[in-house]
Amino acid sequence: MDQPQRVSRRALLGGFAGAAAVGLAACSSSSGSPGPTTTSSTAARAKQSGVGTLPNPGAAAGTDQLPLIRNIVVVMLENHSYDNVLGMQRGRGEGFVLGKGGTPTATNPWPSTSVIPPSGGDSVLRAFPMPNPCQPEGHPYNTWDAFWDSYAGGKLDGFAASQSGPVSMGYIEPSILPFTNSLAAAFPVCDRYFCSVGAQTYPNRRFLMAGTSLGLLGDTFPSAAPPNGTVFQALDTHGISWKNYYSSLPSTLIWSYQAALPGFTSHLASNAAFLADAAAGTLPAVSLVDPDFDKQSQEDPQDVQYGDQFLAQVVNAVLASPQWPHTLLVWCYDESGGYYDHVPPPAAAVPDAVPPDVPAGGTPGSFDRYGFRVPAGIVSPYAKPDYVSHVVHDHTSVLKLIETKWNLPALTNRDAAADDLLDSVDLSRPPRFLKPPKLAASADPSVLAGCLSTGAGTIPPPSAVRPA
């Protein structure tokens, strides 16, 4: 199997965005206890619901159904599995099973036929802590083929042998991402939140915005528009305010045709504007906040500390905002990046009639299964204390949350079947987190500085490898 060719997100976005550069530049300068995994309720909703259905059929589309929640903020980072980021949290969510000495028991075969073979013949590779906050460039790599190779019919023993290679068994110690782990410990964490498809960033972010990737599996820009539009168009239809705040380039361009829509650029603003709007209490009804994709998103080969710092900046701005008493923030990662996770992704509702655009010689398949788990959680004054959500979610659950709030029609079968994330909040009693809890300080990249120039270290460490 050939190793995938890496193309920078900036190059892809930049290549598309040239025609809209003037407009973009103008905008950017403006201001619980563990339980079983179940999909029965999701399957039932899939049979009863469909495209165009309203969460509340007895109310008009666009009408407020959750008056206690006035603002929804969505923050999506990149390319890490639940086990990779939160697997070492104790007492919160289903992370790694630990053996003697508190080390994970998870292993994967690492045969000599692997894409990146071991030097000593057929081996077994156990989960290991990453040597430092940096990641090697190009690996792991979550292509459609790598997902199915890693999934291995549900055995989850193909990670090390796949395109992702041996770094897939690495995990990040909690001390490297102190704010992220503190956030997951203080507010509800979702340990059954799966990415929408076992594929790359763009298809998963398309699911976040439109409930479908329209067949897309890679990080490219086909021009076709989703037949039922995006959630942002639905918000516009009903006069509901929204903005995509960004640093490098806005992720809403992943539906590239949308940049040509009248008034689209009026919804784009800089991350500096987000901080100012949060402080002034003028955030729109829906905010999508993007990291700097070259530095803060946590995609390899970045230093993940910058992502921890970014997430802290966004969350702390919301906690300090005059709008905090009526805000719900969702944080998540777009896809697992090829990192190991021990929970098999369950079946999912097929979003539409568009099949995956599988390249010649690629693994055949359908959009009938989620990708691997990703870290995710809910931050709100109405959040349930000490709660872990074991409800199956994916990125279309964010769509369903927005649809539930404003009674918007489902865009595809996937979001029609999705759970709306509201199990993590209690709107029937006074808010428990009206006074925000004290969270850990974010990572300070200067303390462990240097790995961006010296590299990610020895991966895998010899101690994590044994003969098969």
pLDDT at 229 over 50: yes
Encode pLDDT of 128-182 as tens digits. 999 999 999 888 988 999 999 999 999 999 999 999 999 999 999 999 999 999 9
Q: Calculate mean pLDDT across residues 177-200.
A: 97
pLDDT category at 107 given cuts 50, 70, 90 is: very high
Q: Calculate mean pLDDT across residues 200-222.
A: 94
Question: Given this model, what pLDDT does residue 221 score?
Answer: 83
Q: Tokens 């390249």 label which residue?
A: 359
pLDDT at 39 over 80: no
Query: pLDDT over 70 for what percent of the chain?
Result: 90
- More confident call, 42 vs 91: 91
Question: Given this model, what pLDDT does residue 111 score?
Answer: 94
- Asked which of 55-59, 134-138, 364-368, 387-391 is least confident by mean pLDDT, the reply is 134-138
- Tell me the pLDDT of the chain averaged across its residues: 89
Question: Given this model, what pLDDT does residue 14 score?
Answer: 46
Q: Calculate mean pLDDT across residues 202-215.
A: 96
Distance (Å) of CA 306 to CA 31, 176, 232, 276, 381: 23, 10, 28, 21, 26
pLDDT at 375 over 70: yes
Q: Distance between CA 413 and CA 67 in Å, rounded?
A: 26
- More confident call, 426 vs 40: 426
pLDDT at 351 over 90: yes
Q: Is 21 exposed, middle or buried (0-12, 13-18, 19+ CB in 10 A)?
A: exposed
Report the alpha-carbon angle 50-55-56, nearest 5. 125
pLDDT category at 297 given cuts 50, 70, 90 is: confident
Could you tell me where the beta strands, DSSP code E, fall in 21-175? 71-77, 107-110, 123-126, 128-129, 170-171
The domain limits of the chain are 55-103+176-428
Report the alpha-carbon angle 79-83-87, nearest 5. 135
Encode pLDDT of 298-307 as tens digits. 888 899 999 9
Question: Given this model, what pLDDT does residue 45 score?
Answer: 39
Q: Output the pTM of the full model.
A: 0.91
pLDDT at 296 over 50: yes
Question: Given this model, what pLDDT does residue 447 score?
Answer: 78
Q: Calculate mean pLDDT across residues 450-464.
A: 90
pLDDT at 38 over 90: no
pLDDT at 97 over 50: yes
- For residue 193, list its beta bridge partners: 393
Question: Given this model, what pLDDT does residue 24 score?
Answer: 42
Q: Tokens 């690996």 label which residue?
A: 139
Q: Distance between CA 265 and CA 272 in Å, rounded?
A: 17
Encode pLDDT of 55-75 as tens digits. 999 999 999 999 999 999 999
Question: Given this model, what pLDDT does residue 15 score?
Answer: 43
**Nearest in space to 337 (alpha carbons), one of 301, 289, 378:** 301
Question: Is there a contact between 181 and 86 (Cβ–Cβ < 8 Å)?
Answer: yes
Answer whether the bond into residue 140 is a cis peptide, omega within 30°: yes
Q: Calculate mean pLDDT across residues 436-457.
A: 88
pLDDT category at 9 given cuts 50, 70, 90 is: low
Helices (H), 88-240: 144-151, 178-186, 201-210, 231-237
Distance (Å) of CA 246 to CA 16, 17, 279, 292: 16, 14, 17, 7
Torsional sign, CA 104, 109, 114, 118: positive
- More confident call, 262 vs 84: 84
Question: Given this model, what pLDDT does residue 19 score?
Answer: 38
Q: Distance between CA 347 and CA 202 in Å, rounded?
A: 21
Q: Distance between CA 114 and CA 401 in Å, rounded?
A: 41
Q: Calculate mean pLDDT across residues 424-453.
A: 92
Q: Residues 55-103+176-428: name the CATH superfamily.
A: Alkaline Phosphatase, subunit A (3.40.720.10)
SS3 annotation, 373-392: ECCEEEECCCECCCCEECCC
Q: Calculate mean pLDDT across residues 342-362.
A: 95
- Asked which of 28-37, 65-74, 246-255 is least confident by mean pLDDT, the reply is 28-37
What's the distance, Cα to Cα, between the start and end of the chain in Å?
Answer: 22
Question: Given this model, what pLDDT does residue 257 score?
Answer: 87
Question: Given this model, what pLDDT does residue 51 score?
Answer: 92
Helices (H), 240-326: 271-280, 305-319
Q: Calculate mean pLDDT across residues 189-214.
A: 97
Q: Distance between CA 264 and CA 25 in Å, rounded?
A: 13
pLDDT at 313 over 60: yes
